[in-house]
Amino acid sequence: MQKPHVVLSESDQGELSVLLHQSALKSKVFKRVTALLELNKGKTIEAVRSVLGLSYPTVAKLIDNYQQSGLECLKDKAKSGRPPGISGKQRAAITALACSQAPQGHATWSLRLLADKVVELGYCETVSHMQVGRILKKMNSSRI
């Protein structure tokens, strides 16, 4: 038997075993937990990789991350990106406005008219008619 690639402490082994038996465990985390436990048993990276359907660099990176940060390696790192510009409450207000009676002189709401009214009512500082259309499309609204 080969020397294990990962040597888990007793407490880490216990935590991983408990995690492994949770029903709400994400697939990604399940694979990481299983990989660590199998590597601790002395299996090769190649054997773990082929059974779990992971790439060799993924398993090697998992080993490095475990050695650097312990069980924190199971969690996904925060991803960068732009936060959503319009909150759920604002989306709901836009949808409610689209479902309301059109202003006097108009038979129905247009996307541009909705966008202007949303800004006028102070729901958002700015919103384009295209964004209003995407919001209503996601809400399955037939008002566009």
pLDDT in tens, 75-99: 888 778 887 788 889 999 999 999 9
pLDDT of residue 140: 66
Residue 101 has pLDDT above 90, yes or no: yes
Q: Please state, in angstroms and rounded to a whole number, the distance separating the CA atoms of residues 70 and 42.
A: 18
Please give the full DSSP string across the chain, using - where no structure is assigned: -PPPS----HHHHHHHHHHHT-TT--HHHHHHHHHHHHHHTT--HHHHHHHHT--HHHHHHHHHHHHHHGGGGGSPPPPP-PPPSS-HHHHHHHHHHHHSPPPTT-SS--HHHHHHHHHHHTS-S---HHHHHHHHHHTT-S--
Residue 144 has pLDDT above 70, yes or no: no
Reported pTM: 0.56
What are the tens digits of pLDDT across the range 54-77? Answer: 999 999 999 999 899 888 888 888
Residue 1 has pLDDT above 70, yes or no: no
Closest CA to 64 of 6, 108, 121, 143: 6
With beta carbons less than 8 A apart as the criterion, state whether 129 and 115 touch. Answer: yes
pLDDT of residue 96: 93
Q: What is the residue-averaged pLDDT of the chain?
A: 87
What are the tens digits of pLDDT across the range 105-129? Answer: 999 999 999 999 999 999 999 999 9
What are the tens digits of pLDDT across the range 32-41? Answer: 999 999 998 8
